[in-house]
A and B are shown apart, each in its own frame.
Chain A
Amino acid sequence: MATNSTRRRNALWRIGSLLPASLLLVALSIYPVFNLVGLSLSDVEWIDGRAHSEFIGFANFDQLFRHETVYWAGVRNTIIFAICAVTAQMIFGFSMALAARRASGVTRAVLTAVFLLPIVMPPIVIGAMWRLLLGRDFGAVNTLLGYVGIGPIDFLGNPDIALASVILVDIWHWTPFVFLLMLTGLESLDQEVFEAAKFDVRSPWQELRYVTIPLMVPTILITLGLRLVLSFKVFDEVYLLTGGGPGTSTEVINFSIYRTFFAQDRLGVGSAMSLLTLVAVAVLIVVVNLWIRKRRSKSQEATS
């Protein structure tokens, strides 16, 4: 059995094994939040490559709430972006999963491989690719539309449709992710329920409405919540597709932060933006989490 020295070593091991992960999280994810608080209350200037800050109270927040109209346009666009893109992804992803559910093994493997592509390729490449595809004068999409007598459409240069174009690219990017989650969910459902319900439902629609969807509620909720929160991360594609323009038509929150912090060197206001965004998204995460839990326990009560 364990000797004294083993016991001491084991105690050290328990602490030591958690230490690297905890230290990294504290130093680079918790401390930076406090650092942001400090910076957002200061006037920050670069002197010899080091940041020098001077306390100025809430002036940066005052500036942010009253004068940073571009940021608020970004907030509006990001919310529109998140709602539209996620809704479309859920509808497309779920219907395709229903379609592919009964496919044979080989078909499934090929489809999964293809659907994984957008998920694992670098987002910046997706941006580059669609920028080439959606180009006004020589993009493939306009060439195709030209065959049927439409266009050319300036997808990325027209302020009225630029945001819609960005949303379209995001739908292309993330629908496969929803598809794969839904497919896994559908496959884990108890087949006996469908067998039992066979005699009660008259059409595939009834089966979908009264059997499949109620059983899928937990998966649907988790996917929905996850996509909704993660779509606030959008940055890479927008950077390459439109750079926030034309005007502020495709400005998103992350792009405002990037521009204020790095292109304009206004660290104080940039920190205030970062902090506000961080807190807002954190609240959203908690709310979505609680909501999913509540709905989930409700649906479990209903089914059990």
Chain B
Amino acid sequence: MISRTTRKNLLGGHLVAWGYALIIIGPMFWILSNSFKRQIDILMGNTFSTPILTNYETLLFSRQSDFLMNLWNSAMIGVVSTVIVLVIATLAAFTIIRLEPPKWATALLLGWALVFHMLPTLTFVGSWYVMFSNMGLHGTYTALILTHVLHALPQTMFLMVGFLLNIPRELIQAARMDGCSYGQVFRRIVVPLSFGGMAAAGALAFIQSWSDFAISLNLSDQDTMTAPVAIATFAQEHQIRYGEMAAASVMSMIPALILILLGQRYVVRGLMAGAVK
């Protein structure tokens, strides 16, 4: 009797969860199918039509479209800012948890990083815009990379603090007994032992940079425009080209899909650590 109600509950629970999964997947399949349709088929609401590649071809290879360059900008800014943020966050995390800096310094650094992480990004963008314009850096890769590094810094720092806590204190003490300087301990012990954590934190930092819209919209110009900003401009044209907008959206999802397929476990751990800290 009891087992039957439990089974029924379990079945009901599964139905709810799978139903929601369907609500997540459904729209994605729909946009995928739209990216292979002609504009006229989308507007007529035709569910089935012969798939065509025109949208992707126009988007990537036509002369009027800069999307290939936008993708390159996104990838380049993403990779460079991820590498920089990993280095500076790991350095800071190591010192914070193993070298006992003054308490106030740690509290100030981590406390402000947490608050900054939660404040609306747009409240800072205006100020950055004025600062970078006055320095003649508006629209440059430098401005975008610096702000993207800063944007990912709190999360990466919290994640690395979490991961480095797993390295036994004794290991570091032993190395110092053998006459290693802090720099050597960092290079020879900390970095090799935290590759897994760095991969997870790096993947999340890259996704964050790749997805960013609020910063790139206002600090990039025609030449440094990233993919999300380009997608937004599609929607503002007088005659919205829905097929190309769908194709661009599909292409922008690729890094997220790769991340989920390759590193699901790491991503979940990373997200949780970022949330709980």
Which residue of A17, A128, A204 contacts B249 across the interface (Cβ within 8 Å)? Answer: A128
Interchain nearest-CB distance for B221 vs A (Å): 12
B49 within 8 A of partner (CB): no
In contact, A271 and B42 (Cβ under 8 angstroms):
no
A13-B182, A229-B118, A257-B123 as given contacts; A114 in contact with B24, CB under 8 Å? yes
In contact, B31 and A114 (Cβ under 8 angstroms):
no
Of residues A10, A28, A31, A138, which shows the largest number of chain B Cβ atoms within 10 Å of its Cβ?
A28
Which residue of B99, B122, B128, B211 contacts A122 across the interface (Cβ within 8 Å)? Answer: B211
In contact, A258 and B218 (Cβ under 8 angstroms):
yes
Interchain nearest-CB distance for B59 vs A (Å): 13
A20-B88, A35-B130 as given contacts; A121 in contact with B218, CB under 8 Å? no
Minimum CB distance partner of A239 in chain B: B232
B166 within 8 A of partner (CB): no
In contact, A13 and B268 (Cβ under 8 angstroms):
no
In contact, B214 and A235 (Cβ under 8 angstroms):
yes
Interchain nearest-CB distance for A213 vs B (Å): 17
Which residue of B105, B112, B242 contacts A25 across the interface (Cβ within 8 Å)? Answer: B112
Which residue of B12, B127, B228, B264 contacts A112 across the interface (Cβ within 8 Å)? Answer: B264
Minimum CB distance partner of A233 in chain B: B120
Residues facing A in B201-245 (CB within 8 A) are 207, 210-211, 213-214, 217-218, 227-228, 231-232, 234-235, 242, 245
A244 within 8 A of partner (CB): no
Which residue of B125, B134, B246, B272 contacts A181 across the interface (Cβ within 8 Å)? Answer: B272
A30 within 8 A of partner (CB): yes
B residues near A44, Cβ cutoff 8 Å: 130
Residues facing B in A268-292 (CB within 8 A) are 270-271, 274-275, 277-278, 281-282, 285
A103 within 8 A of partner (CB): yes
A residues near B168, Cβ cutoff 8 Å: none
Q: What is the bound-complex CA distance between A27 and B184, given in angstroms?
A: 29
Interchain nearest-CB distance for B187 vs A (Å): 11
In contact, A233 and B121 (Cβ under 8 angstroms):
yes
Q: What is the bound-complex CA distance between A254 and B149, given in angstroms?
A: 21
Q: Total A-B pairs in contact (CB under 8 Å)?
A: 290
B79 within 8 A of partner (CB): no
A21-B91, A129-B31 as given contacts; A99 in contact with B253, CB under 8 Å? no
A84 within 8 A of partner (CB): no
A residues near B124, Cβ cutoff 8 Å: 28-29, 32, 274, 278
Q: What is the bound-complex CA distance between A176 and B149, given in angstroms?
A: 26
Q: What is the bound-complex CA distance between A10 and B16, given in angstroms?
A: 57
In contact, A6 and B181 (Cβ under 8 angstroms):
yes
In contact, B130 and A267 (Cβ under 8 angstroms):
yes
Residues facing A in B66-101 (CB within 8 A) are 87-89, 91-92, 94-96, 99, 101
A residues near B127, Cβ cutoff 8 Å: 32-33, 35-36, 39, 271, 274
Q: What is the bound-complex CA distance between A117 and B34, given in angstroms?
A: 19
Q: What is the bound-complex CA distance between A119 and B245, given in angstroms?
A: 20
In contact, B153 and A21 (Cβ under 8 angstroms):
yes
Minimum CB distance partner of A277 in chain B: B123
B residues near A116, Cβ cutoff 8 Å: 260, 264, 267-268
Please name 16 pairs of A and B residues whose Cβ atoms are closer than 8 Å in the assembled complex, sorted by A: A13-B181, A14-B101, A21-B109, A24-B153, A30-B112, A96-B16, A113-B264, A122-B252, A122-B253, A130-B27, A138-B45, A176-B24, A204-B9, A235-B122, A275-B123, A285-B115
5 additional A-B residue pairs with CB within 8 Å, beyond A22-B109, A121-B211: A39-B126, A116-B264, A117-B24, A122-B253, A124-B228
B residues whose Cβ falls under 8 Å from a Cβ of A: 5, 9-10, 12-14, 16-18, 20-21, 23-25, 27-28, 30-31, 34, 42-45, 87-89, 91-92, 94-96, 99, 101, 105, 109, 112-113, 115-116, 118-131, 133-134, 136, 138, 146-147, 149-150, 153, 157, 176-177, 179, 181-183, 186, 207, 210-211, 213-214, 217-218, 227-228, 231-232, 234-235, 242, 245-246, 248-249, 252-253, 256-257, 259-261, 264, 267-268, 271-272, 275-276
A residues whose Cβ falls under 8 Å from a Cβ of B: 1-2, 6, 9-10, 13-14, 17-18, 20-22, 24-25, 28-33, 35-36, 39, 44, 49-51, 92, 95-96, 98-103, 107, 109-125, 127-133, 137-138, 140, 143, 172, 175-177, 180-181, 184, 204, 222-223, 226, 229-230, 232-233, 235-236, 239-240, 253-254, 257-258, 261-262, 267, 270-271, 274-275, 277-278, 281-282, 285
